[in-house]
Structure 1
Amino acid sequence: MKVLQFGLLIVLSYSVSAISASPEVLQLQFIDTMVKEHKFERNYIEATLAKSSKNTKILESIAKPWEAKPWHQYYPIFLTEKRLAKGLAFWQEHQHSLQRAEQQTGVPAQIIVAIIGIETFYGSYMGKYSVLDALTTLGFYYPPRATFFRSELAQLFLLAQEEKFDITQLKGSYAGAMGWGQFISSSYRHYAVDFDGDGIRDLLNNPVDAIGSVANYFKKHGWKKNQDIAFKAEVSGSNYTDYLSKSLKFKHTWQQLESNGVMLNGTQLNAKQKVKLLKFKQPTKNEYWVGLPNFYTITRYNHSPLYAMAVFQFSEQLKLAMHNVN
């Protein structure tokens, strides 16, 4: 027990030290890491970081993300006639590439089109912030997630080295996401694909590579081909509230939910099917849905049930619109 207590004290001391470290100390530690672990020249890292600036607007933006809104204020941002029309045009223009991506990965075309539409309005809004500024600001001046963003900063240096990017010229979101599908640095490195065969993985300018890369991301994160995403549900009694949680993990079976007041109209799931009960706030009452594993996969792209539901509902609108056109 004494050994465990001593070990805990060391961990706590390290954590407090890491949290309380100044931006200057964190930057020096980052430079050391890039030199020792990734074999970069110290002068290059120092000179590049010197070109970055702390951006208070980035800190303001991450403090009030759209995903903090209630559902009835969130979904109208994305589920619009304008976005639907743009999405339909994008689908028609890239129908061959979308069909090929669906055949290779099992990810439906409407999901790929929905993601790109929600992320960047089909390349129209890919971010105005310097990615370098975003990641240094959040990595050195945003304690709640500084460790994550310093890791992404390291990935950015590696990505720029591999893809021959000018690291100071990259533009993206306030969180450092880039390109048509808004990939963060690590996702770009691990999931981007050259989908048009030109020898370049270009998510910044090439919608075809973005299509293949979004599909690849979903496949690698467990997308189940020809499986449903979510079903609208009704609830009764009060036992169902025990199955609501902020965790995105699927810990319950359909049998558990059904036995505790959750009902689906016209749909029958396998009793052992892993599911998640979801609650979405409407102006006068809550709306309930039962999410299936593919819903969880969408949350791997953005860790928010609001985001995943918006993607799902937009994809259904797109699917219907495309069917009506054909």
Structure 2
Amino acid sequence: MTLLKRMLAPLALTLFSCSAAAAPSDSEVEALKAEFIKTQSGKGFDAEDTTIFIKNAKYNQAVIDAMTKPWEAKPWHQYYPIFLTEKRLDAGLAFWKEHAKTIERASKEFNVDPQIIVAIIGIETFYGGYMGNYPVKDALYTLGFHYPPRATFFRSEFANLQSLVKEERLDINSLKGSYAGAMGFGQFIPSSYRHYAVDFDNDGSRDLLISTTDAIGSVANYFHQHGWQKNQPVTLQLTLNKDLPDTVKTWSGEKLHYQVADILSPNVALAESIDLDVSQPALVVKLEQAEHDEYWLGLKNFYVITRYNRSPLYAMAVYQFSQELKKAYATQ
């Protein structure tokens, strides 16, 4: 498996390192299957069809191995060089130029900065070059029935997959994606595909697997639905004279509960002074460099990126790559 394929980031998942839990017994798995069939029957699915749906999925140990060793657990100085490369930047500029009208339309319609749309697709799949080689049904089945730490979540995604296949008339046997069952240019898990995908090319289907137009519109819609604020700052570097005050902790996935005013102080300042509403929600991110730590003030837009993938390293990589794209595109 190539490093880039290994790095496919499942949408809206917390991918911090998890220790492997004890595998469920055969009887426990069978009980989960029976419960799943009953639940799906309540949603209108025939029990026999759901039984076949489960039987057609296979356990994949590689999925468990990938889930328990995510790259987001690495320090920033090892993480960001994978994404912030000249090759990815060149590919991003080419993608932006080729789809400029669609990206501009999505940006205006959903009120999302164009560089963020382009950055997400580049980080997720290298513009469709690496969409994942795991059969989606196998990945979600494996995690939903054989991975106790997140089994409830992934059984829900497995259920959403059954609905998605029916709604969008997808060939379940050809669906490939990440080790967490994320699909297409933007790596949408089934629930996100169902809730946020849009038919942006108006051809009657929401196709995130082949249609770049639908993918662009859908990524923009995802950010719009989560509250992206166009032309507003995302994150700002901090300078610290001392350690963070005891009243402020670095962000670890929780909802925003600090305001900027709670974070800034005589000992914690913006690296570059700008006018800023200090009553707005904020968080603090620590980036581990090889010889020192950096601290950044994350604002609402940074938090929105983490709705796509909850790793702060992922969000920072998306932001910094988007800035590189914006600068390079403006100077072409």
TM-score by length of structure 1 reads 0.91
Whole-Å separation in 1 of the counterparts to 2:112 and 2:232: 10
Work out which of the residue numbers 179, 182, 188 in structure 2 matches 1:177. Answer: 182
Secondary structure of 2:72 counterpart: helix
Q: Kindly report the root-mean-square deviation, in angstroms, between the aligned alpha carbons of the 2 structures.
A: 1.6
RCO greater where, 1 or 2, for CA within 8 Å and sep 6 or more?
2
Where do 1:245-324 residues align within 5 Å?
245=250, 246-259=252-265, 261-264=267-270, 265-324=272-331
Q: Which residue of 1 aligns with 2:149?
A: 144
Deviations 1:48-100 (A, max 9, x none): 21111100000000001111111111111111100000000000000000000
Whole-Å separation in 2 of the counterparts to 1:232 and 1:206: 37
**How much has 1:43 moved relative to structure 2?**
1.2
Q: Which runs of 5+ in 2 are unaligned?
A: 1-23
CA contact under 8 A between 1:239 and 1:260: conserved in structure 2? Answer: no
Deviations 1:175-216 (A, max 9, x none): 000000000000000100011111111000011100000000
Deviations 1:13-42 (A, max 9, x none): xxxxx999711211111111111x211111
Whole-Å separation in 2 of the counterparts to 1:130 and 1:181: 17
TM-score by length of structure 2 reads 0.89
CA contact under 8 A between 2:253 and 2:310: conserved in structure 1? Answer: no
**How much has 1:249 moved relative to structure 2?**
2.4
CA contact under 8 A between 1:248 and 1:296: conserved in structure 2? Answer: no
**How much has 1:221 moved relative to structure 2?**
0.5
Whole-Å separation in 2 of the counterparts to 1:200 and 1:143: 35
Letter of the aligned partner of 1:54 in structure 2?
Y
Within the alignment, does 1:243 sit opposite 2:248 as a pair?
Answer: yes
Taking a change above 3 Å as real, the CA distance of residues 311 and 21 of structure 1, as seen in their structure-2 partners, is: farther
After the TM superposition, list the runs of 4 or more consecutive aligned residues in structure 1 that deviate by more than 6 angstroms: 18-21
Within the alignment, does 1:44 sit opposite 2:49 as a pair?
Answer: yes
Q: Which residue of 2 aligns with 1:25?
A: 31
Secondary structure of 2:188 counterpart: coil
CA contact under 8 A between 1:19 and 1:143: conserved in structure 2? Answer: no
Where do 1:117-128 residues align within 5 Å?
117-128=122-133
Within the alignment, does 1:199 sit opposite 2:204 as a pair?
Answer: yes
**How much has 1:226 moved relative to structure 2?**
1.8
Whole-Å separation in 2 of the counterparts to 1:306 and 1:93: 29
Letter of the aligned partner of 2:168 in structure 1?
E
CA contact under 8 A between 1:139 and 1:146: conserved in structure 2? Answer: yes
CA contact under 8 A between 1:59 and 1:138: conserved in structure 2? Answer: yes
CA contact under 8 A between 1:244 and 1:279: conserved in structure 2? Answer: no
Whole-Å separation in 2 of the counterparts to 1:108 and 1:88: 15
Work out which of the residue numbers 76, 80, 98 in structure 1 matches 2:85. Answer: 80
* Structure having the larger proportion of residues in helix: 1
**How much has 1:270 moved relative to structure 2?**
1.9
Q: Which runs of 5+ in 1 are unaligned?
A: 1-17
Q: Which residue of 2 aligns with 1:92?
A: 97
Letter of the aligned partner of 1:61 in structure 2?
A
**How much has 1:273 moved relative to structure 2?**
2.1
- The structure whose Rg is larger is 1
Secondary structure of 2:172 counterpart: coil
Identity of aligned residues (%): 53
Whole-Å separation in 2 of the counterparts to 1:254 and 1:34: 45
Letter of the aligned partner of 2:187 in structure 1?
Q
CA contact under 8 A between 1:240 and 1:260: conserved in structure 2? Answer: no
Within the alignment, does 1:168 sit opposite 2:201 as a pair?
Answer: no
